[in-house]
Structures are given as structure tokens and as C-alpha cells.
């Protein structure tokens, strides 16, 4: 009888230890599966914030982390596209301004009789400058979009951090529950030892 009780107690202890080890292993794997993609998302956001718009992301997940990384890649592509368009427009406007200024210089040198024509060219220059201000406004708009995108990334990172903290709390609760089960198993063994079969 005593040997049987000890055997039962040993089996209960082994089961409790196995449960605790499985819970701890699961919590460790869960924490690592969150940290890796979170670190990758932070690195991508840092590269984009540093101005590297050619950032490419390896998309291996279809969960929230995958969505976050896809959003970061799309943001980088859109910013790159906007910056490219603005650069092209600025270059075209600069060439046009250069041409207009050259024409204006030639007309001024040709004499005072061409002052009226110079006024027309000056109006063209003003129009070109207005066209240059449009890309500048687009640059400001793109910067605002980038700031908003980074703010969304920060919110996502904050949410992921909160999930990690919640998971850590669940691991602690699981460990406490396992300890409680161990204590209850010991008490149950003590209660059963009173009965003789």
C-alpha cells in the first residue's frame, strides 16, 4: 500500500513536472516567434526612416507580422515612387527655367525695344516657378504620409509589445497553476493515505 501511494505520488509529480516543462517550452517558442518578426519590422522601419527607400522585405508570414512587413514595403515603394516623380518634375522644371532664363538674357541684350518681350518671358518664368512649387507641396505631402505611416508602425509595435507582455503574464499564471496542481496532488496523496483498501 505504501509503495503504491508512493508510486502514485511519483507519477503525479512527474506529470506536473512534464506539464510545467511543456508550458515553459511553449512560452519560450511563442516569445521567440514574436521577437524575430518584430525585430525585422523595426529594422525595416529604421531603414525607411533613414531614407533607404529601396528596402526589400522577405515576406514569409501571413499573420499580423506579415501584414506589418507588407505595409512597410508598400510604404517604401510609394515613397520611392513619389520621390522619383518629384525629382523628374523638378528636373523638367529646372530645364524649362534654364531655357527661359537663357531666352530672357538674349532678349535683354538685343536692346531696349525688346523690353515688352522680356516681360512676357518673365511671366513664363513666374509660371514655371509656380510649377516647381507644386512638387514641393507633393514632397511635403509625402513627408506627412511617411510620418503617418511611421506612427502606424509605432502603434503596431506598441500592440505587439503589449501582446508579448500579456503572453509573459500567461506564462507566469501557468507556472503558478502548475505549482498549485503539485501542492494539490501532494495533499490528495496525503488524504488518500488515510484510507486502507
d(CA 94, CA 131): 10
> Are the beta carbons of 13 and 39 closer than 8 angstroms?
no
pTM of the model: 0.35
Where do runs of H (alpha helix) occur along 50-114? 64-109
Q: What is the pLDDT of residue 57?
A: 65
Q: What is the pLDDT of residue 197?
A: 60
> Are the beta carbons of 23 and 175 closer than 8 angstroms?
yes
Query: What's the chain's length in residues?
Result: 197
The fold adopted by the segment(s) 2-194 is Substrate Binding Domain Of Dnak; Chain:A; Domain 2 (1.20.1270)
d(CA 89, CA 99): 15
- 10-residue averages of pLDDT along the chain (197 residues): 77 82 80 74 75 68 73 78 82 82 73 67 78 78 84 83 86 86 84 74
* Domain boundary assignment for the chain: 2-194
Amino acid at each position: 500500500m505504501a509503495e503504491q501511494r508512493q508510486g502514485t505520488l511519483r507519477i503525479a509529480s512527474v506529470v506536473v513536472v512534464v506539464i510545467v516543462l511543456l508550458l515553459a517550452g511553449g512560452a519560450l517558442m511563442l516569445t521567440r516567434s514574436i521577437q524575430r518578426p518584430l525585430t525585422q519590422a523595426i529594422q525595416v522601419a529604421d531603414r525607411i526612416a533613414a531614407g533607404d527607400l529601396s528596402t526589400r522585405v522577405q515576406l514569409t508570414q501571413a499573420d499580423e507580422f506579415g501584414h506589418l512587413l507588407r505595409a512597410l514595403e508598400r510604404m517604401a515603394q510609394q515613397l520611392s515612387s513619389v520621390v522619383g516623380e518629384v525629382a523628374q518634375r523638378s528636373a523638367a522644371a529646372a530645364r524649362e527655367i534654364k531655357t527661359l532664363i537663357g531666352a530672357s538674357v538674349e532678349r535683354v541684350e538685343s536692346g531696349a525695344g525688346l523690353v515688352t518681350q522680356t516681360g512676357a518671358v518673365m511671366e513664363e518664368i513666374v509660371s514655371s516657378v509656380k510649377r516647381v512649387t507644386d512638387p514641393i507641396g507633393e514632397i511635403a505631402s509625402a513627408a506627412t504620409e511617411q510620418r503617418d505611416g511611421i506612427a502606424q508602425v509605432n502603434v503596431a509595435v506598441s500592440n505587439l509589445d503589449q501582446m508579448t507582455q500579456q503572453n509573459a503574464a500567461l506564462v507566469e499564471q501557468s507556472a503558478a497553476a502548475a505549482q498549485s496542481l503539485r501542492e494539490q496532488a501532494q495533499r490528495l496523496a496525503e488524504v488518500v493515505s488515510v484510507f486502507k483498501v
